Amino acid sequence: MDDVDVFGKFDALWQQSVQQGVEMGGWIVRDGTDNYRMIPFQNAVYTPCGVDVFEAPPANLVSLFHTHPWRLGQARMCGGAYAFYTGTPSPEDVQALAHLGLSTGFFIDHTGIAKYTTSGGQTAFRITRCGY
> 97-129: per-residue pLDDT in tens?
999 999 999 999 998 889 999 987 777 887 765
| Cα angle value 91/94/98 (rounded, 5°) | 130
**Residue 24 pLDDT exceeds 90:** yes
Task: Walk me through the domains of the chain, giving residue ranges and CATH numbers.
Answer: 4-127 (3.40.140)
Going by pLDDT thresholds of 50, 70 and 90, the confidence category of residue 131 is very low
- Asked whether the beta carbons of 67 and 23 are under 8 A apart, the reply is yes
C-alpha dihedral, 71 to 126 to 32 to 60, nearest 10°:
-70
CB 52 within 8 A of CB 22: no
- Name the DSSP letter for residue 60: T
pLDDT at 47: 92
85-96: average pLDDT: 92
Quote the CA–CA distance of 57 and 118 in Å, as a whole number.
18
Averaged confidence pLDDT in the chain: 87
